[in-house]
Structure 1
Amino acid sequence: MSGFFKKAMGLFVEFEDSPGKPIPKSHAPVAPPGRVTSPQVLNSEDFDKFENHFEKLFDQANLPGPDYYEFMRMNETLESHIKDDKARLAATFASLSIQGLTKEALIATAGRYKEIIAEDRSKFERIAAEKNEKEIGGRRHDLTQLEDSVRKNAEEISKLTQEINEAQKSIDGLKASILEEERKLESNQRGYLLASDAMTMKIDTDIQKIKSDL
């Protein structure tokens, strides 16, 4: 990126050092009047991406003849030779005024580049919103469905677990009841058989007595 873009972005971001490609961090970021902001960290990959984007945007929008864009690029070129800002701006303007640049045209074209950025930002935000709705929104929908499914399944598992526990209690109760009834039935059968044998023997004895004694 040209010094112009790096300096402009340096107002709001600090650049992370990247292995093999160090990018100096900006110093004392200053926000435009009326705007309070804190510097954000930007890695080298994102820096290069936005650098290329805005450089291409300004190149494509470059107005005919000398304008704000040429003014700022030349001003950045002279920075290593003229350290004083006022002197450098004056020298830059003097060089371009020979080509027909006026102060009014400089201010007007600077405003036009602001409009270009605003238009590009509006387009970027629209595309980002569409992408968010299409990709992230769809995934959020899937996430909600999965969460609902997990919640319903968890509720169903809890319900089934409760039913299983209640059924197990009923099973245990039925087993105990069956054992008790089996014990009673066995005892009753045993008693009946004993009584039946005793009555049969009594009758047999009575028959023998009748036959022998009458």
Structure 2
Amino acid sequence: MAEQETSSGLEGFGKKLLNLFIKEEPTTGKPITAFPQNPPNPVSVPITPASPVPAATVREPTASSAVPEGAVDTKFVDHFAAVLSKANQPGPDYFEFRETLKNLSNLNLSEDQQYQAAWASFKAMGGSANVAGLVSSANQYLTALNNDQQAFSKTVEEALTEKVGGLSNEQKQLQSENEQLAKQMLEIQRKMDANNERLARIGGELNEQRQKITQNQSNYEATLAVFVGQIKRDLLKLGEYIK
């Protein structure tokens, strides 16, 4: 496959990649879908699978936070175009084979015939005469995509740690503050209830104490009147009886 060097060429490669690996549904308005990912091999040659992403980087969706279904994003198409362009080697390889296979998909051929015809065309354009060479080039692309996936998963983990982790810490802090405020509010409410009970008792005590004081004042006045009256009477009698 020819090297894609310029940014404009890379953009065109992205569109080409989108056309080769993703197809539009015949019915208008249907979403774009990928071509079959596991077609039967015309020749039995072991294909080396790309290394899986480490399990630690895979997050299972929880019941409270289900992961939405993904959709093909043109920005990632352009990204993968760059990844595959860097992994490309000069000369016909898997990419040309896929391009030929895509062109044959419009013909009225069975899938087996499509792969056989694409293989014959691939060899005719100067590609490897041994299917193992074609498989090897396809695995190179898989390895490049797998390495990119692992790098992307790492950035996702870092983003989760930085952004989601920061928000999670803030959430815990606010929840803790709310718990403390709730305790304070409960204590304030208890204090208010105690004060209201005391206020109710004070109302009765005020009347009682007012009556006691008023009664005491009345007794004082009555007793004072006895002493004052007696002294005044004595003074009156002294003036009357003693000259």
Q: Which runs of 5+ in 2 are unaligned?
A: 1-14, 40-67
Please identify, of 137-146 and 84-93, the stretch whose mean Cα deviation from structure 2 is larger: 84-93
Which one of 154, 169, 192 corresponds to residue 141 of structure 1? 169
In the TM superposition, residue 193 of structure 1 has moved relative to its aligned partner by: 0.4
Provide the residue aligned with 1:100 in structure 2: 127
RMSD: 3.1
In the TM superposition, residue 126 of structure 1 has moved relative to its aligned partner by: 0.1
Distance in 2 (CA, whole Å) between partners of 1:106 and 1:65 is 11
Provide the residue aligned with 1:58 in structure 2: 84
Please identify, of 204-213 and 91-100, the stretch whose mean Cα deviation from structure 2 is larger: 204-213
Conserved 8 A contact 1:5-1:55: no
User: What's the CA shift string for 1:24-46, capped at 9, x where partnerless?
Assistant: 3659x8889xxxxxxx8444xx5
Question: Structure 1 residues 207 and 41 mapped into 2: Cα distance closer, same or farther (>3 Å)?
Answer: closer
Which amino acid counterpart does residue 20 of structure 2 have in structure 1?
F
Which TM-score applies when normalising by structure 2? Answer: 0.68
Conserved 8 A contact 1:68-1:109: yes
Task: Give SS of 1:83's match.
Answer: coil
Q: Larger relative CO (CA 8 A, sep 6+): 1 or 2?
A: 2
Which TM-score applies when normalising by structure 1? Answer: 0.76
Distance in 1 (CA, whole Å) between partners of 2:136 and 2:216 is 115
Which amino acid counterpart does residue 61 of structure 1 have in structure 2?
A
Provide the residue aligned with 1:182 in structure 2: 210
Identity in percent: 22
Which one of 76, 80, 84 corresponds to residue 102 of structure 2? 76
In the TM superposition, residue 159 of structure 1 has moved relative to its aligned partner by: 0.8
In the TM superposition, residue 141 of structure 1 has moved relative to its aligned partner by: 0.9
User: What's the CA shift string for 1:80-134, capped at 9, x where partnerless?
Assistant: 1353212221121112213032201011112222211211110010000001111
Provide the residue aligned with 1:170 in structure 2: 198
User: What's the CA shift string for 1:14-69, capped at 9, x where partnerless?
Assistant: x9x9xxx9443659x8889xxxxxxx8444xx532333332332223222221112
In the TM superposition, residue 150 of structure 1 has moved relative to its aligned partner by: 1.1
Identify, as 1 or 2, the structure richer in helix.
1
Task: Give SS of 2:73's match.
Answer: helix
Which one of 99, 117, 138 corresponds to residue 91 of structure 1? 117
Conserved 8 A contact 2:22-2:33: no
Provide the residue aligned with 2:51 in structure 1: none
Which one of 31, 38, 43 corresponds to residue 24 of structure 1? 31
The answer to whether 1:204 aligns with 2:232 is: yes
Q: Which runs of 5+ in 1 are unaligned?
A: 33-39
